[in-house]
């Protein structure tokens, strides 16, 4: 068992997954990595952060037809290649950062297929945050009061589709497959602090480390 542990958070849009991940990291006093991973990967590769941002969780369905040849292999493409700034190489740089973090520190990582990338590691708790669509709609209507209900509905469906496509593109598997996760939390039934309690308690049971106990 490694000295550190990692919590990966996958989430449906509007389920408060990012917020729950941040609160969990705060409770445990460990690092929190979401969009920060893009900056770290940009620094490592020398590739513009804007290119990472453009490719981040935004894979069009038309690319899935040749997904089998593009699934993540762990091999970085050298700078002298025309494919150096390709989506798959951008993903691979992020994957390298995720694996290094898992080796070196306790942290919470949101999205980026981290549950898949770290699936064989014994020190990882993989969490999926979800909620019924109507509950997520209410949450997003509160966050986006300037938009109509129809617009918010489309927005939620679009973001979820992009996340599913991103996951399929780089892993060849289904984003919502329950086999990818150790626990699944319905945030409409468990408010943020309760969800954090569930994650921390599960961490304690799995790793016997009394994480976050005060």
Q: Which residue has the tokens 């938009």?
A: 147
pLDDT at 171 over 80: yes
Do residues 188 and 132 make contact, with C-beta atoms less than 8 angstroms apart? Answer: yes
Q: Which CATH number fits the domain that encloses residue 53?
A: 3.40.50.300
Q: Would residue 117 count as lying in a domain?
A: yes
DSSP 64: G
Q: Would residue 212 count as lying in a domain?
A: no
Structure tokens at 123: 């020190």
Maximum distance among all Cα pairs of the chain, rounded to whole angstroms:
53
Q: Would residue 160 count as lying in a domain?
A: yes
- Alpha-carbon span 205 to 76, nearest angstrom: 37
Q: Would residue 214 count as lying in a domain?
A: no
Q: Tell me which of 104 and 72 has the higher pLDDT.
A: 104
- Alpha-carbon span 114 to 63, nearest angstrom: 21
Q: Would residue 195 count as lying in a domain?
A: yes
Do residues 93 and 16 make contact, with C-beta atoms less than 8 angstroms apart? Answer: no
Domain count for the chain: 1
- Alpha-carbon span 36 to 29, nearest angstrom: 17
Can you state the angle between helices 36-45 and 87-104, rounded to 10 degrees? 110
Q: What pLDDT digit, counting tens, does each position of 99-154 carry?
A: 999 999 999 999 989 999 999 999 999 999 999 999 999 999 999 999 999 999 99
Q: What pLDDT digit, counting tens, does each position of 9-52 carry?
A: 999 999 999 999 999 999 999 999 988 888 887 777 777 667 66
Q: Which of 136, 124, 134 is nearest to 180 (CA)?
A: 124
Q: Would residue 213 count as lying in a domain?
A: no
Three-state SS at 3: coil
pLDDT average, residue stretch 172-187: 94
Residues 6+ apart with CB under 8 A from 137: 14, 149, 152, 153, 156
Percentage of the residues of the chain whose pLDDT score is greater than 70: 79
Which residue range forms the structural domain that includes residue 171?
6-207
């Amino acid at each position: 068992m490694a000295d550190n542990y990692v919590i990966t958070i996958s989430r449906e849009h509007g389920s408060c997954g990012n917020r729950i991940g941040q609160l969990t990291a705060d409770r445990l006093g460990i690092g929190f990595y979401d969009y920060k991973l893009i900056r770290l990967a940009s620094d490592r590769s020398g590739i513009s952060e804007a290119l990472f941002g453009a490719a981040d969780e935004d894979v069009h369905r038309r690319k899935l037809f040749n997904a089998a040849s593009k699934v993540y292999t762990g091999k970085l493409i050298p700078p002298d290649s025309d494919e150096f700034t390709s989506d798959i190489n951008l993903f691979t740089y992020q994957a390298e950062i995720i694996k290094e973090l898992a080796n070196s520190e306790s942290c919470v990582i949101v999205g980026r297929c981290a549950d898949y990338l770290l699936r064989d590691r014994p020190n990882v708790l993989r969490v999926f945050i979800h909620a019924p669509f109507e509950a997520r709609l209410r949450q997003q209507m509160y966050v986006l009061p300037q938009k109509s209900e129809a617009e918010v509905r489309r927005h939620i469906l679009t973001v979820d589709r992009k996340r599913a496509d991103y996951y399929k593109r780089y892993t060849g598997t289904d984003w919502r497959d329950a086999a990818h996760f150790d626990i699944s939390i319905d945030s409409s039934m468990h408010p943020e602090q309760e969800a954090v309690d569930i994650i921390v308690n599960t961490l304690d049971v799995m790793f016997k480390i009394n994480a976050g106990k005060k």
